[in-house]
């Protein structure tokens, strides 16, 4: 008897039923995604979306990742929210289903995206954007769940997601909007592949591990796929600050020192190798540069700011040049050794130091309702909406039973 392929195993694993606790967790991530969309609605990407895309969920799909505040899974090094929600909601709209069906689809989408992404290695991450390369699996799984596909058809959609995956990191080196497109493409492509699978379009079942498959092309040393009893959505972190996740531990350390009155410049930041590789940018020029700069992130806190979107603009970059110059960054092997299970850092000033293995919003330091509420209110304001829209979003995301009010909310926000 032939052993099941990885996509077949994953498809069977996704057939389990989420429970009410899983759906409640999904609601929190839906609320977080809405906050990110609200905050991005006045950005240049939003202007492009309004011009190019008549569909409201396609517009929203382009916005969830823009502010760098979207949820993140550390071990898989990817952001599920901006991929899963546009796919799940698009499928739910097509099926005219209730909120619970959409939430179950999202839980399964998070599972597939994270499970596949966590098999990728450092070689893959050095060249490819995992939110894009693993995202199609999540988008396909979410839509397949809502379309009620059987395990065979779901496997076809997953196999075809592997067949067309891509997303190069080159966009980090230029002032472009490609990163937002990566997440949207994965969401919409996954939706499309599930729709095709429902109509009978077959896909390669060994598209991950087989000859000329994804691993052969993009991964030197694939890790074993982990399909455990608990849904992986519970292991996803929330991001309180508008910077790359690799800068968050340094931000958190700086906040702790600032609260104690001991964040005295100059300071040194010690962290893991990938944080240095992605976020050692002492001289940011663009807003994206600033969000990928540990030096700028720590300077933001030293200046008494909150690390919100307003602190990574061109004006903030210019204003914080002197403070940024007083932040040096270096690798510490103790953090690299436990990465990516933990994204740790240490900030050292002249009189004190702060070390954190995990940061606020991680499962080890869970996001409080107050933190998520403050984030929502802040991003609604940053996006130019009235404060009442935060209450509206919260009620729909946490208590809604149908997606109609959610679609109406997005129409109001993104028209």
The CATH number of residue 336's host domain is: 3.30.1330.120
100 located within any domain: yes
Q: What is the pLDDT of residues 164-202, one digit of tens each?
A: 999 999 998 999 999 999 999 999 999 999 999 999 999
Q: What is the pLDDT of residues 112-139, one digit of tens each?
A: 999 999 999 999 999 999 999 999 999 9
The enclosing domain of 186 has a CATH number of: 1.10.4100.10
366 located within any domain: no
- The rounded distance, in Å, linking the Cα atoms of 196 and 252 is 45
Residue 300's pLDDT is what?
98
* Domain final residue, candidates 327, 356, 385: 356
Contacts of 66 (CB under 8 A, 6+ apart): 36, 39, 40, 43, 45, 46, 180
Is the pLDDT confidence value at 267 over 80?
yes
46 located within any domain: yes
Shared domain for 87 and 144, answered yes or no, is yes
Shared domain for 211 and 285, answered yes or no, is no
293 located within any domain: yes
Q: What is the mean pLDDT of the chain?
A: 97
Asked if 12 and 61 count as a contact pair (C-beta separation under 8 A), the reply is no
The dihedral built from the CA positions of residue 151, 157, 160 and 162, taken in this order, carries a sign that is negative
Shared domain for 340 and 409, answered yes or no, is no
Shared domain for 39 and 90, answered yes or no, is yes
pTM: 0.95
- The rounded distance, in Å, linking the Cα atoms of 68 and 289 is 12
Question: Which of 82, 37, 99 minimizes the C-alpha distance to 185?
Answer: 82
Shared domain for 221 and 304, answered yes or no, is no
Shared domain for 144 and 189, answered yes or no, is yes
DSSP-derived letter for residue 319 is H
Shared domain for 223 and 256, answered yes or no, is no
Shared domain for 112 and 54, answered yes or no, is yes
Q: Please give the average per-residue pLDDT across 323-342, as a whole number.
A: 97
Residue 1's pLDDT is what?
58
Q: How many domains does the chain have?
A: 2
Q: Residue 3 — very low, low, confident or very high, per pLDDT cuts 50/70/90? A: confident
Asked if 122 and 45 count as a contact pair (C-beta separation under 8 A), the reply is no
Shared domain for 348 and 381, answered yes or no, is no
275 located within any domain: yes
Three-state DSSP at 173 gives helix
Shared domain for 301 and 378, answered yes or no, is no
Is the pLDDT confidence value at 251 over 80?
yes
Torsion of CA 201, 110, 245, 398, to 10 degrees: 130
Shared domain for 224 and 319, answered yes or no, is no
Q: Please give the average per-residue pLDDT across 236-260, as a whole number.
A: 96
Residue 2's pLDDT is what?
77
Residue 349's pLDDT is what?
95
Domain carrying residue 224: 6-240+373-414
Shared domain for 155 and 276, answered yes or no, is no
Asked if 26 and 233 count as a contact pair (C-beta separation under 8 A), the reply is yes
In this structure, the number of other CB atoms found within 10 A of the CB of residue 17 comes to 8
Q: What is the pLDDT of residues 68-88, one digit of tens each?
A: 999 999 999 999 999 999 999
């Amino acid at each position: 008897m032939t052993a099941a392929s990885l996509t077949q195993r994953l498809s069977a694993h996704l057939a389990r039923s989420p429970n009410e606790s899983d759906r409640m967790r999904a609601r929190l991530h839906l609320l977080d995604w809405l906050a990110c969309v609200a905050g991005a609605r006045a950005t240049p990407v939003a202007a492009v979306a309004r011009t190019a895309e008549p569909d409201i969920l396609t517009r929203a799909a382009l916005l969830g990742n823009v502010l760098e505040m979207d949820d993140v899974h550390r071990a898989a090094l990817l952001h599920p929210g901006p991929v899963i929600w546009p796919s799940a909601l698009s499928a739910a709209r097509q099926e005219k289903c209730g909120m619970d069906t959409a939430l179950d689809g999202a839980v399964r989408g998070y599972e597939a995206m994270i499970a596949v992404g966590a098999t990728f290695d450092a070689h893959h991450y050095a060249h490819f954007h995992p939110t894009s390369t693993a995202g199609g699996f999540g988008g396909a799984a979410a839509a397949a769940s809502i379309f009620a596909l059987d395990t065979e058809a779901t496997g076809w959609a997953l196999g075809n997601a592997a067949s067309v995956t891509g997303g190069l990191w080159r966009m980090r080196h230029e002032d472009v909007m490609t990163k937002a497109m990566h997440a949207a493409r994965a969401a919409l492509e996954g939706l499309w592949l599930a729709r095709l699978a429902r109509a009978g379009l077959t896909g390669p079942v060994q598209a991950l591990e087989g000859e000329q498959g994804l691993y052969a092309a993009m991964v030197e040393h694939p890790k074993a796929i982990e399909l455990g009893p608990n849904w992986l959505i519970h292991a996803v972190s929330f991001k309180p600050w508008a910077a790359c996740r690799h800068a968050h531990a340094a931000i958190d350390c700086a906040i702790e020192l600032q609260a104690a009155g001991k964040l005295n410049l100059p300071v040194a930041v010690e962290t893991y190798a990938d944080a240095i590789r992605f976020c050692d940018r002492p001289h940011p020029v663009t807003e994206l540069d600033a969000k990928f700069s540990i030096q700028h992130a720590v300077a933001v806190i030293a200046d008494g700011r909150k690390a919100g979107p307003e602190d990574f603009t061109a004006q903030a970059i210019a204003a914080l040049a002197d403070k940024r110059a007083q932040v040096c960054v270096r690798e510490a092997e103790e953090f690299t050794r436990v990465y990516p299970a933990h994204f740790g850092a240490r900030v050292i000033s002249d009189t004190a130091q702060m070390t954190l293995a995990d940061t606020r919003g991680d499962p080890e330091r869970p996001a409080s309702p107050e933190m998520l509420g403050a984030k929502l209110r802040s991003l609604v304001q940053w996006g130019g909406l009235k404060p009442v829209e935060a209450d509206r979003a919260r009620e729909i995301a946490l208590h809604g039973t149908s997606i109609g009010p959610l679609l109406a909310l997005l129409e109001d926000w993104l028209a």
